[in-house]
């Protein structure tokens, strides 16, 4: 097995962050046009109403610069500015600020966002009084961490679609009377990414990916696979887990299911994953044919 020593995930994220520097530069230029020398000067604006007006104006600003998400897709302009300001102020726009936004008063969504961000500005300014904390080298590190979080979720959806596409291709090739669901299935706190629907039975397919090797999280990863299988079976479903992990120490024979698709590859090698996945699913065609009965 060829191990991938290079941290492909980090390399991809760094490339995206570098693309996003132009968005940072555009924001700084916007502040300069509004009388500030840099972000540090704006964060420490003593006049509350003035800072609020600048934030609201920026949220309405027709910025041509593009902000990219964790897998390199451009954010919509309104979302990009909201996310960027929140990240710059060391906050989480979706997880923390989103719920708070519902309680903020205002005549428009933009006004409510501006009010909330201005409160965050006043809070975070004294926590980071040094000017260098508001320069690109520092903000880029913050952005890297935020994009990594979004990338995990986005990559998860990508693998889900890859598995769904591969299964549909195998079904079409073998002319099987089966359907592949378009959405996930949730049982309690367990989520199954793909469902293969037969005449009287359904197979649930959880997709489990892991980039790193060893450590305590590896045990949690293995435990998650066992749990996904047991919950599916307890609720009357068959389960075929798809495991994509470069160096998984789990014992395939210990899994209480007839079939498991294990790809011993770094999940960041997306092109190879798609090919290997198609080949692996072709090897369990007999199990899929049984589902037709």
DSSP bridge pairs for 282: none
Q: Which of 8-22, 148-162, 163-177 has the lowest mean pLDDT?
A: 148-162
For the entire predicted model, the pTM comes to 0.59
Of the candidates 276, 236, 233, 235, the residue with the CA atom closest to the CA atom of residue 257:
233
Q: What is the pLDDT of residues 236-264, one digit of tens each?
A: 999 999 998 877 767 777 888 899 999 98
d(CA 5, CA 282): 29
3-state DSSP call for residue 275? helix
Residues 6+ apart with CB under 8 A from 101: 112, 113, 116
Phi/psi of residue 227, each to 5°? -65, -40
Model confidence band, residue 1 (pLDDT cutoffs 50, 70, 90)? very low
pLDDT at residue 216, rounded to an integer: 45
Q: What is the pLDDT of residues 119-128, one digit of tens each?
A: 999 999 999 9
For residue 232, pLDDT over 60 is answered with yes
User: Which pair of structure tokens corresponds to residue 161?
Assistant: 């679609």
Residues 6+ apart with CB under 8 A from 113: 59, 82, 101
Rg, Å, the chain Cα set? 24
For residue 50, pLDDT over 60 is answered with yes
d(CA 121, CA 115): 10
3-state DSSP call for residue 186? strand
Q: What is the pLDDT of residues 97-115, one digit of tens each?
A: 999 999 999 999 999 999 9
d(CA 116, CA 102): 10
Q: What is the pLDDT of residues 135-152, one digit of tens each?
A: 999 999 999 988 887 766
Chain mean position to CA 12: 14
Does 172 or 41 have the greater pLDDT score? 41
Q: What is the DSSP string of 119-174?
A: HHHHHHTTTS-SGGGGSHHHHHHHHHHHHHHHHHHHHHHHHHHHHHHHHHHHHHHT
């Amino acid at each position: 097995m060829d191990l991938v020593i290079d941290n492909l995930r980090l390399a991809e994220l760094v490339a995206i962050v570098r693309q996003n520097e132009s968005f940072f530069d555009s924001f700084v230029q916007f502040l300069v046009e509004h009388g500030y020398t840099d972000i540090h000067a704006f964060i420490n604006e003593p006049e509350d109403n003035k800072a609020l007006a600048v934030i609201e104006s920026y949220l309405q600003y027709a910025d041509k610069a593009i902000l990219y998400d964790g897998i390199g897709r451009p954010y919509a302009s309104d979302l990009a500015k909201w996310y960027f300001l929140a990240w710059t102020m060391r906050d989480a726009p979706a997880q923390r600020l989103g719920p708070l936004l519902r309680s903020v008063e205002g005549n428009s969504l933009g006004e409510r966002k501006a009010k909330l961000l201005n409160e965050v500005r006043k809070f975070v300014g004294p926590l980071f009084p040094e000017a260098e904390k508001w320069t690109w080298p520092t903000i880029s590190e913050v952005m890297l961490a935020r994009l990594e979080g979004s990338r995990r979720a986005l990559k998860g959806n990508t693998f889900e679609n890859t598995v769904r596409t591969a299964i549909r291709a195998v079904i079409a090739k073998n002319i099987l009377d089966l359907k592949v669901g378009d959405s996930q299935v949730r049982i309690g706190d367990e989520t199954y990414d793909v469902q293969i629907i037969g005449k009287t039975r359904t197979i649930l397919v959880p997709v489990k990916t892991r980039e790193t090797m060893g450590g305590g999280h590896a045990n949690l990863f293995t435990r998650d696979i066992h749990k996904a299988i047991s919950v599916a079976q307890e609720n009357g479903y068959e389960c075929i887990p798809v495991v994509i992990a470069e160096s998984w120490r789990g014992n395939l024979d210990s899994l209480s299911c007839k079939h498991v698709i294990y790809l011993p590859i770094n999940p960041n090698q997306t092109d190879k994953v798609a090919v290997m996945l198609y080949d692996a699913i072709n090897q369990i065609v007999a199990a899929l044919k049984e589902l037709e009965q």
